[in-house]
Structure 1
Amino acid sequence: MKRLFYIPLLFILLFGCKKDKIDMQPDEIIEPLVGKWLLTESEQSVNGKKVWQPVNSNDPQYLVFRFDGVMFDKDGFANCCTPKELSINGNSFTIQPKRKVVYGKCAAVSCAYCAVWGIEYSGNEMILNYCFGVREKYIKN
């Protein structure tokens, strides 16, 4: 009689295990970037020289990195025009969403695709290098 009790219990234990557990730990390459970043300056050409110009602080812009490299705005919507890969202080990181990604109004956005964004960070400061020479400076918030 005990055997009949153990057989269904064994099946419950074997098939009740969740095999597709999502690893939500950030990779060591992306880990320092995970969190909320505030845009503080953008690089502009003034009289043929590249200089850093402060951005409008009345309308703060944020960039939020999730543990898997997916980037969001301050409202929690995924950025529409993101690359497939980041070069973080010279190390390559492929962005692979591991959880659901919700996009905002991407149909109304025209993107100039850039396969890799360069990121240089030190402490709480990050410089984001887009394709075409555009650079922005952020501080960790």
Structure 2
Amino acid sequence: MKRLLYIPLLLILLLGCKSNENDSATPQSLVTSLSGKWLMTETEVTVNGKKVWQVVNTLTPVYLIFRSDGVMLDGDGKASCCGPNALSINGNFFKIEPQSEVTYSLDCAAVDCLACPVLDIEYSGNQMIITYCIGGRVKYIKN
């Protein structure tokens, strides 16, 4: 009789387990899901010694575009002069290897890069937080 009570309990436990959609994802599938246009919504700032999110000016939107090969572009479709060589998406390492031509701004010729070799990205659903090597964090939503 006790065994009959354990079966429904076991089913409830198994069905109640929720897995995160990105837990078992491969780095390539994560980069593919990141591909598209992202709108910057907030930046992390320090106020009175505490880190808080501050909403950005929506009158001049800032966009970030990810290609399916991991290349990051600005809203005009130009790559950053000092872009990363790899991405760490939810702890999964992905080396950026452009699959098509990358266009840079003409200003890049005058820039002395101190690039961030690996860019850290926290990604879930339609929200992404990028942590830059220089310490800043920026929040984006998929557009």
- Is the TM-score greater than 0.5? yes
Q: How far 1:112 sits from its partner (Å)?
A: 3.2
How far apart in 2 are the matches of 1:74 and 1:132?
22
**2:137 aligned with 1:138, yes or no?**
no
Q: Tell me the equivalent position of 2:12.
A: none
Moved over 3 A (4+): 108-112
**2:22 aligned with 1:36, yes or no?**
no
Counterpart amino acid of 1:73?
Answer: D
Q: How far 1:61 sits from its partner (Å)?
A: 0.5
Q: How far 1:77 sits from its partner (Å)?
A: 1.0
Q: How far 1:110 sits from its partner (Å)?
A: 5.0
Q: How far 1:114 sits from its partner (Å)?
A: 1.1
Q: Is the 8 A contact 1:29 1:93 kept in 2?
A: no
Counterpart amino acid of 2:79?
Answer: A
Counterpart amino acid of 2:37?
Answer: K
Tell me, which stretches of 5 or more residues in structure 2 are unaligned? 1-26
Instruction: Report the count of equivalent residues.
Output: 116
Q: Tell me the equivalent position of 1:112.
A: 114
Paired residues for 1:1-141 under 5 Å: 27-104=28-105, 105-141=107-143
Counterpart amino acid of 2:133?
Answer: C
Task: Classify the secondary structure of the residue corresponding to 2:33.
Answer: helix
Q: How far 1:80 sits from its partner (Å)?
A: 1.6
Tell me, which stretches of 5 or more residues in structure 1 are unaligned? 1-25
TM-score normalized by the length of structure 1: 0.77
Instruction: Kindly provide the CA deviation profile for residues 26-77 of structure 1, in whole angstroms up to 9, marking residues without a partner as x.
Output: 9213111000000000000111100000111111100000010011111111
